[in-house]
Amino acid sequence: MTKSKVARRQPAKADLERILEDLFVEVIDRGEQERSQRPPGYWPYNEDLDTPQEQRDKEAWVTPDLDAAYWETCVQQNDLNAIRRDVEKKLDERSLDHPSDSDLALFLRKALVTVAAAHRQDAEREKGHYAPLQHPFLGQLQETQSPAPRTDGRETVKEAFAAFASQSMTERRWNDGTFADAEKALQLFLGIMNDMPLHQVQRSDALRFRVALCKLPAMRGKSLYEGLEPLKQIERREMIQAALAADGERITVGDRTISKPEAERLAKPLTRKTVNKHLNYFVTLYKRKQDAGEFSGTSPFEKILFSKKLIRDDSETRIVWQADHLQALFTSPAWTGCQSQSHRSTPGTHVFEDERFWVPIIGLFTGMRENEICSLRIDALRRHDKAGCWIIQVVKGKTANAKRQIPVHPELENIGLLDYANAARQEGHDMLFPSLRANRRTGSLAVAFGKWFTRYRQATGLFEKGRDFHSLRHTFETLLIQNFRGDQVLMRAMMGHQQEGMDRVYFHGFEPEQTYPVIKSLDIGVDLSHLHRSRQKSRTLRLGRHA
């Protein structure tokens, strides 16, 4: 929806005085907001800091005295450009014409003096010296409440985020899933920090938000966390951790008693990768504001993300599927005979052929991501005559590098993937797994399958922390590296990862005739001949919705 053009008018004296008042009050409010969040006993000049990170934070801290000295220097040097962007923004927000050059220079000078005076009074408050607010041109001002009431030009985080999300969707930077994830990040911020003017968010606020995210449970919103606000979820997770420390076999939380393994699962915090995912929306929001000239100064979220090394350290906790684990999985009831379609973990005589049967097998032999497999269309399976094989065409995925052509391993043909796809096509389906429905919140087709795969492994005794569906992707890459001595360009291309160095610019991918010999000779170290179509002739095709 486009906004109608608003006619501009010449600023009246009252308009300019309101801008000067806002400039002054915003500085004071930011200082008071930051001080109000400090813990009892806070002392900013304490040299006895616990961690290297706290020491770095102290060294990076700009004191209100230094801020005041900077702005007073700008006044002495008549550096009008230091305040020009903020003034022009406030004029534009009110649909006011910019004054003529001479009048604008005079007003910029007043604005510069105003901000310098505000920072000097804020510096005195930092030392505990409070006096009535004295504006250099408007006289004594009334003390505002904290946080200050919103006035024109004081866009809140929620309002700024809504505009940011709308623009990102309009420009097709985001899809529906990204939009849903961004909304989740915003709700976490509002639930933890409350809404506040965007320009009043301090570095300390961003750091407190990151700390709170790290304390959130990975299962937030589920099980014992269902219906709880973020801070209450953190509180409950800490209760579970305390109960676990008592080392009992049964854990009591409120009026609920749960097993120790369940408590350990509930006590697991968000990974740093997920924390970064939430924070990155705010990093990008402030970057967009800076690029548009709508935010001056340093972003409170600058350098807030956890390093790639720490993220890699977290990912190393994922366990690959060894041969004996794969053998146990693919000889379990869902693949060798179960009681019914809704009781796959109970041994029986039925083998149902649908996504629950095929997605793990495809993942093992292709290294594809869960959602890439669940989102496959039937026409993604096609014959590549030059390579002499069938391929799976991945047209889009998690990243721009996900687009690739993956040769179909001969074992997938033996197990019957092409027969299954042909049967689905003959029934008039476009999707390879038509039983799947998109998640209403994220749009992902993999959510329902992922939940089932977790429940199934728990029910069959195959569940182990760190060994999940994504571990199949780790297994595939590990096997590639072991079998082919780690050709990194080939590995990255087949996994849908971004190339490094100049290969990112000049390398445009392998063709199936080059990758098929690699896939064809890949040995997963497990005998799956019991799943071959020739030996499993009585499977039941399942292409409808699950009960």
Element at 158 (helix H, strand E)? helix 157-170
What is the 3-state secondary structure of 514-544?
Answer: HHHHHHHCCCCCCCCHHHCCCCCCCCEECCC
Mean pLDDT, all residues of the chain:
82
Per residue in 380-419, pLDDT (tens digit) is: 999 988 888 898 988 765 555 567 888 899 999 999 999 9
Whether the link from the prior residue into 197 is cis, omega within 30° of 0, is no
Instruction: Give me the pLDDT at residue 246, please.
Output: 73
What mean pLDDT is predicted for residues 292-299?
81
**Torsion angle, CA of 33/39/40/41, rounded to 10 degrees?**
-110
pLDDT of residue 284: 94
What pLDDT is recorded for position 32? Answer: 82
Kindly report the backbone phi and psi dihedral angles of residue 257, in degrees, each rounded to the nearest multiple of 5, phi listed first: -120, 130
483 pLDDT band, cuts 50/70/90, is low
Burial of residue 77 (number of CB atoms within 10 Å: 0-12, 13-18, 19+):
exposed
- Mean pLDDT is highest, among 127-141, 328-342, 383-397, for 328-342
Residue entry with tokens 């005041």: 68
pLDDT of residue 36: 76
Tell me: pLDDT of 185 over 90. yes
pLDDT at 3: 36
Q: What is the pLDDT of residues 307-332, one digit of tens each?
A: 877 776 665 566 778 889 999 999 99
CA pair distance 523, 502, nearest whole angstrom: 32
* Average pLDDT over every residue of 7-24: 83
Name the DSSP letter for residue 398: S
Contacts of 456 (CB under 8 A, 6+ apart): 334, 344, 345, 356, 462
What pLDDT was estimated at residue 530?
A: 94
Q: What is the CA radius of gyration of the chain?
A: 30
> How confident is the model over 208-234, as pLDDT tens digits?
899 899 999 988 888 888 888 999 999
Written as one letter, the residue type at 47 is: E
Q: For position 377, what pLDDT does the model report? A: 93
Decide if 377 contacts 425 (C-beta within 8 A): no
Tell me if 369 sits within 8 A of 380, measured CB to CB: no
